[in-house]
Amino acid sequence: MPDALVPVLALPGLGWLIAAALLAGIVRGFAGFGGALIYLPVAAQFVPPLWAVVTVVTLELFGPLAIVPSALKQAHRRDLLLLSGGSLCLIPVGLATLAVVSADAFRYVLSTVCLLLVVCLLLGLRYRGALRPPLIAGVGGASGFLGGLLGVPGPPVVLFYMASALPVQVVRANVLLYLVLFDFQLLAIIGLRGDLDLTPLLLGGLLAVPGLLGNLIGAAVFNPDRSALYRVAACAIVALSAILGLPLWDQ
């Protein structure tokens, strides 16, 4: 066994992280979002905040790769470019904020953001104005900041696309592809900052296996006619993970 894998396999809570990665992959496969929101509240109980962010980025980078080709055929590519450009500008700001946040504060903010997204989704809250390019880039910026701070770039993009008149297949493809592009951006920026350690990368690579399996399962059961049911199921799982991830349950 390579020496670098020893601390990964000896990590307390590794079984929980594997289970969370599998469930996160399933939800992301059928809903197009929610993977990080499910995995991170679990991961933050066992690893430092930056490690949690790096592992979820690595996990989510490899997990959905099998369904990227089909998503590319359905995506609205101009929106993807605008979203990615906006996120690239504010990811460094989110990472700088993460560097000064305590582990407990990270978990409280993370769970709060997850629960707020669930409330917004269930109540149908959304932006109803014109979806112009500056707004799309701004949504990407908000996602980049949240992604750098918490590892969850999804909420602004998910709420934004709920206001879109695009077909559900296109929305699912755009969200999935944006999150993959964000993962590349975040890892590159963390590397340029000199904060990219080998252990969380290896852990993320290990967790990518159950994550990929989950994505394939979720994609296999996806049916556009049941999109409302998938959304409710994803929200319920995200809410449960967020509540259980609060530090107030720690012994």
For a pLDDT cut of 70, what percent of the chain falls above it? 94
Q: What is the pLDDT of residues 100-124, one digit of tens each?
A: 999 999 999 999 988 988 888 788 7
Neighbours of 170 (CB within 10 A): 17
∠ CA 95-41-195 to the nearest 5 degrees? 30
Q: What is the pLDDT of residue 251?
A: 62
96 has pLDDT over 60: yes
Q: How far apart are CA 143 and CA 45, in angstroms?
A: 23
Phi/psi class of residue 34: alpha, beta or left (left: φ > 0; alpha: ψ in -120 to 50)? left
Where in the chain are the domains? 3-246
Q: What is the pLDDT of residue 76?
A: 80
Task: Please count the CA atoms within 13 angstroms of the CA of 75 that sit on its side-chain side.
Answer: 21
Question: What confidence tier does 210 reach under pLDDT thresholds 50, 70, 90?
Answer: very high
Q: What is the pLDDT of residue 29?
A: 81
174 has pLDDT over 90: no
175 has pLDDT over 80: yes
Q: 219 in helix, strand or coil?
A: helix
> pTM of the predicted model, to two decimals?
0.81
Q: What is the pLDDT of residue 102?
A: 92
198 has pLDDT over 80: yes
Q: What is the pLDDT of residues 232-243, one digit of tens each?
A: 888 888 899 999
Q: Which residue has the higher pLDDT, 207 or 169?
A: 207
Across 31-45, 59-73, 141-155, least confident range: 59-73
Q: Which residue has the higher pLDDT, 60 or 47?
A: 47
- Provide the token pair at 232: 């409710």
Which residues are CB-contacts of 205 (< 8 A; sequence separation ≥ 6)?
58, 62
* 98 in Cβ contact with 47 (< 8 Å): no
Phi/psi class of residue 12: alpha, beta or left (left: φ > 0; alpha: ψ in -120 to 50)? beta
Neighbours of 188 (CB within 10 A): 13
Backbone angles phi, psi at 47, to 5 degrees: -130, 160
Q: Which residue has the higher pLDDT, 37 or 125?
A: 37
Q: Which residue has the higher pLDDT, 183 or 154?
A: 183
Which residues are CB-contacts of 105 (< 8 A; sequence separation ≥ 6)?
none
Q: Which residue has the higher pLDDT, 226 or 37?
A: 37
Q: 2 in helix, strand or coil?
A: coil
pLDDT, the chain, mean: 86
1 has pLDDT over 70: no
Backbone angles phi, psi at 152, to 5 degrees: -125, 80
Q: Which residue has the higher pLDDT, 144 or 230?
A: 144
